[in-house]
Amino acid sequence: MNLFRKFFFGTATLALLAGCSDDISNAGQNNGSTGNEDGPSVYLGVNFQMPGMGSTRSFTDGDNTSNNGTEVGTDVENNVNEVLLVLARRDYGFIGAASVMRDNIYKHQAQQPNAGSYHATAKFNKTELSQYYSDAANFNKEICVFVIANPTGGMVDRLATAAYGDTEWINTPWTVSVEGNQTEGAIWSSTNGGNFLMTNSQIAVREIPQQMSAWDSYTSEDKCFNLSEINGVAGALGTIDNSAANASRGPVKVERATARFDFRDGSPANTDANTYPVVYIQNPDGSQGAKLIDIKLNKMALVNMGKTFYYLKRVSNNGLNDGWNAAGSTNGWALCGAEKPWYTLQTDGSLDHNRPGNYIVDYFAQQKNAGISENFSTYFNYAFFDNDGTLNNGNFNTADQRWYVSEISDVLSNGNPDNWDNNGNKGTYKVWRYLTENVAPGIENQVNGISTAVVFKGKMLASNDLKTDLTNLTEGTAEYRNAKYLNDLINAVNSKDASLGDSYKAPILYSYAGSLYCTWQNVYDAAVSASFSYTTGPDGKIIPDWNRTNSLYKAAFGNGLTGYKLVDSDGKVIYNDGDEKDLDQNSANYCWQMWNQANKPNNGEILAKYKKAVTDAGFTIYQRSEDNREGWGYYCYYYYWNRHNDNGKNGIMGPMEFAVVRNNVYKLAVTHIARLGHPRISQNDPDSPKPDTPDESSDIYFTVDAEVVPWTVRVNDIVFE
């Protein structure tokens, strides 16, 4: 049954040639082809090799700067239900295509030269080939062979209307749409034993007969022309060797069009699961004291997953689609080219332009190069920013979960263990999810609005061991004051009491220069204590000594006085550091006082002015909120921009350092958290990301170990049932 003008579908017309390769299982069976549908036909066989088979280095093709290792794919990831075989001229002009269903796809036996690869035989209409042989200007006995495993409708539909010589088919994209958190069935699926889209990892050039008349020897089911093995040609034309023994021929190498994120618990051995010590008490001598605050990571969310990608990978020297050179020269882009590493000079660490690398070309490369500042949902699934460029960490809790959100405990308990051959030195990762390619052209375009990231949500946990019984201390003393600050903080952080009210009425936490304060009053008191001392003169009057250049003083009070009042034991004011007119009315303290006096409204100009003044001064504001699983508490957020080729230089970005590239497994483990993360509300964050914020910064919040390894397949046979 001929469903499409340019190629056939269905097992009735896609017969395996039993005699084409003597190491194919089920040889000799007839699959229902009559051999005369739509006129005379010829049969071509092709072997294709699964991703990374036989490789022990972490690259798909060619050399790159990833870490070594091997990853054994699961049966679901390696299964092939259908193969779309495409023949093209050397300029990639379309010749013809045929579809082979899984009943006609077989694995070579272990004892054969092509062990581990798969064989498919497809039937082509003789008329299609004759057009190529009649095209004297373009005919070449070497053609390009493309194998697309488990194709989606995008390429199938495109080739159904392709005319001979069409070169636009290589630009076919595929857009992955999501419905809620579901992307199954797009380019990966566990249905039918597994259904992962795979395409050529490199251009496969194969030789065909020089004359059309030679095809008369390949028109029956018991004999086919093989694009991956040796062929005997009738007459005096000798043989055509497409086997692996002939240069880079043999099986056509394919790679998955997806990437994969794996995750493991990388927290210290002496802590609870996914829990990290972050804030410590500072001893009087400046040394680190007892642990005060842990962060327990409880959720992780995928953001900025690429929405549209090219079926066939392409590379260029700058990541752009400027021009095309079929021979793959340094100008323009090359189809199915290998990713090349970027080298640096030993002298100063700058790029070595005598050994230039290249970039994977993204479908939206031109737009990304121009700068994306809005309408992010056009380019990404699970967009990090709203379409107007604002950020809302609340996507962790919204009903629609615009980000792809997972409970970390679920990932680690329910996820499938990986099959990474890592000599047991890294721990067991769990497969989290699959995702699509996302790459930025050039170094400067690796920014938060473009790159794929994982957002981690963590809850603050305070150590109750540091609480002090205040009844044993004298009120008004520094010891009492410090103990009360600590008690207030611990009680607030650990309270699960919903009756404390909304996040504006409950105690607000303020972080500054590594210290954490509960309520603004404690910030005020600490700033005064750090900068004020006094003596009493002979007349009994206070002689003040202020250090108004102290960093905490400047952050709280700006360029004005404090309004601080010193009282004696009877409550009488004995010293006053200025009245309202002496205060800096743009300072954090003044704006907080105005908001407090207005009864702390949760919206409006007064609130906005207070938050801007406080964050401009360098304070991070943490407000209490409720998590749908962890309950009430104080939460913070960490943004990990996925690294593809880490140059090992913190604060300095290199080419292709932040990206997601097909057929790579990215193994993630949070191994250290250095400080409290970003607050839930962007207005509360002095360091809130913007769409043009560079992915790499000298500010290190936490550390993620990332291993980039190849996806390889098991030796086990795949059984089609």
Residue 11: CB atoms within 10 A of its CB come to: 16
What's the average model confidence in pLDDT over 553-567?
A: 96
Same-domain status, 326 and 232: no
Q: Does a structural domain hold residue 226?
A: yes
The angle at the Cα of 366, spanning 649 to 255, to the nearest 5 degrees, equals: 70
Q: Does a structural domain hold residue 329?
A: yes
* pLDDT in the model for residue 217: 84
Tell me the per-residue pLDDT of 267-288, one tens digit each, with 9 for 90 and over: 988 899 999 999 999 888 888 8
Q: Is the pLDDT of residue 12 over 80?
A: no
Rounded to 10 degrees, what is the CA torsion of 465, 470, 471, 475?
Answer: 160
Q: How many CA atoms lie within 13 A of 300 on its CB side?
A: 23
Q: Is the pLDDT of residue 110 over 90?
A: no
Q: Which residues sit opposite 71 in a β-bridge?
A: 420, 711
Domains: count for the chain: 3
Q: Does a structural domain hold residue 349?
A: yes
* pLDDT in the model for residue 23: 32
Same-domain status, 346 and 214: no
Query: Could you identify the residue written with the tokens 């001979």?
Result: 164
Same-domain status, 322 and 413: yes
Residue 366: CB atoms within 10 A of its CB come to: 13
Q: Is the pLDDT of residue 654 over 70?
A: yes
Same-domain status, 467 and 604: yes
Q: Is the pLDDT of residue 717 over 50?
A: no
Q: How many helices (H) and strands (E) does the chain have?
A: 10, 40
pTM assigned to the model: 0.88
Q: How far is CA 141 from CA 129, 135, 214, 582, 660, in A?
A: 12, 12, 12, 89, 37
Q: Are 682 and 636 in contact (CB under 8 A)?
A: no
The span from the first CA to the last CA of the chain, in angstroms, equals 24
Q: Does a structural domain hold residue 718?
A: no
* pLDDT in the model for residue 50: 63
Min mean pLDDT across 66-70, 468-472, 686-690 is at 66-70
Rounded to 10 degrees, what is the CA torsion of 696, 698, 699, 700?
Answer: 70
- What's the pLDDT band for 576 if we cut at 50, 70, 90? very high
* Residue type at 142 in one-letter notation: E
Instruction: Give the whole-angstrom CA distance, residue 553 versus residue 526.
Output: 9
Burial degree of 247 (CB within 10 A; 0-12, 13-18, 19+): exposed
Same-domain status, 484 and 589: yes
The rounded percent of the chain whose pLDDT value lies above 90 is 50
* pLDDT in the model for residue 700: 53
Same-domain status, 92 and 192: yes
Instruction: Give the whole-angstrom CA distance, residue 455 versus residue 60.
Output: 27
- What's the pLDDT band for 26 if we cut at 50, 70, 90? very low
Q: Are 127 and 39 in contact (CB under 8 A)?
A: yes
* pLDDT in the model for residue 51: 59
Which residues are CB-neighbours of 439 under 8 A, at least 6 positions away? 319, 359, 360, 361, 362, 365, 656, 659, 660, 661
Q: Which residues sit opposite 182 in a β-bridge?
A: 179
* Residue type at 13 in one-letter notation: T
Instruction: Give the whole-angstrom CA distance, residue 336 versus residue 315.
Output: 7
Chain-centroid distance, C-alpha 588:
38
Q: How many CA atoms lie within 13 A of 458 on its CB side?
A: 30
* pLDDT in the model for residue 70: 66
What's the average model confidence in pLDDT over 199-224?
A: 85
What's the average model confidence in pLDDT over 4-12?
A: 35
* Residue type at 464 in one-letter notation: N
**Torsion 424-429-434-435 (CA) sign:** negative
* pLDDT in the model for residue 18: 30
What's the average model confidence in pLDDT over 538-558?
A: 95
Average pLDDT of the chain to the nearest whole number: 82
**What are the backbone dihedrals phi and psi of residue 197, each rounded to the nearest 5 degrees, phi first?**
-65, 130
Same-domain status, 407 and 539: no
What's the average model confidence in pLDDT over 526-535?
A: 95
Q: Does a structural domain hold residue 98?
A: yes
Last residue of a domain, one of 257, 287, 320: 257
* pLDDT in the model for residue 369: 95
Min mean pLDDT across 223-232, 573-582, 635-644 is at 223-232
Same-domain status, 665 and 623: no
**Torsion 211-217-220-223 (CA) sign:** negative
**Torsion 33-37-41-46 (CA) sign:** negative
- What's the pLDDT band for 27 if we cut at 50, 70, 90? very low
Q: Are 123 and 187 in contact (CB under 8 A)?
A: no
* pLDDT in the model for residue 8: 40
What's the average model confidence in pLDDT over 497-523?
A: 90
Would you tell me the crossing angle of helices 588-597 and 605-616 to the nearest 10 degrees? 150
Quote the longest CA-to-CA distance of the chain.
124
What's the average model confidence in pLDDT over 627-637?
A: 93
Tell me the per-residue pLDDT of 253-266, one tens digit each, with 9 for 90 and over: 888 899 999 888 98
Last residue of a domain, one of 257, 283, 309: 257
Instruction: Give the whole-angstrom CA distance, residue 611 versus residue 603.
Output: 11
- What's the pLDDT band for 222 if we cut at 50, 70, 90? low
Helix (H) or strand (E) holding 479: helix 478-494
Tell me the per-residue pLDDT of 387-439, one tens digit each, with 9 for 90 and over: 999 998 888 877 667 899 999 999 999 877 776 665 555 667 899 999 999 99
Same-domain status, 421 and 478: no
Same-domain status, 490 and 609: yes
Min mean pLDDT across 86-95, 178-187, 233-242, 294-303 is at 178-187
Length of the chain counted residue by residue: 721
- What's the pLDDT band for 74 if we cut at 50, 70, 90? confident
- What's the pLDDT band for 604 if we cut at 50, 70, 90? very high
- What's the pLDDT band for 552 if we cut at 50, 70, 90? very high
Task: Give the CATH number, domain containing residue 193.
Answer: 2.60.40.3160
Min mean pLDDT across 179-188, 372-381, 650-659, 701-710 is at 701-710
Q: Does a structural domain hold residue 62?
A: no
Q: Is the pLDDT of residue 347 over 80?
A: no
Q: Is the pLDDT of residue 183 over 80?
A: no
* pLDDT in the model for residue 308: 94
Q: Does a structural domain hold residue 611?
A: yes
* pLDDT in the model for residue 698: 63
Q: Does a structural domain hold residue 74?
A: no
Same-domain status, 433 and 575: no
Q: Which residue has the higher pLDDT, 283 or 34?
A: 283
Instruction: Give the whole-angstrom CA distance, residue 304 versus residue 227.
Output: 40
Reduce the DSSP state of residue 411 to 3 states and report it.
helix
Q: Which residues sit opposite 707 in a β-bridge?
A: 667
Query: Could you identify the residue written with the tokens 């010590």?
Result: 277
Instruction: Give the whole-angstrom CA distance, residue 124 versus residue 86.
Output: 10
Last residue of a domain, one of 231, 257, 283: 257
Same-domain status, 482 and 607: yes
The rounded percent of the chain whose pLDDT value lies above 70 is 82
* Structural domain harbouring 490: 261-295+460-627
Instruction: Give the whole-angstrom CA distance, residue 649 versus residue 348.
Output: 12
Q: Is the pLDDT of residue 216 over 80?
A: yes
Q: Which residue has the higher pLDDT, 163 or 103?
A: 163
Residue 75: CB atoms within 10 A of its CB come to: 14
* pLDDT in the model for residue 54: 31
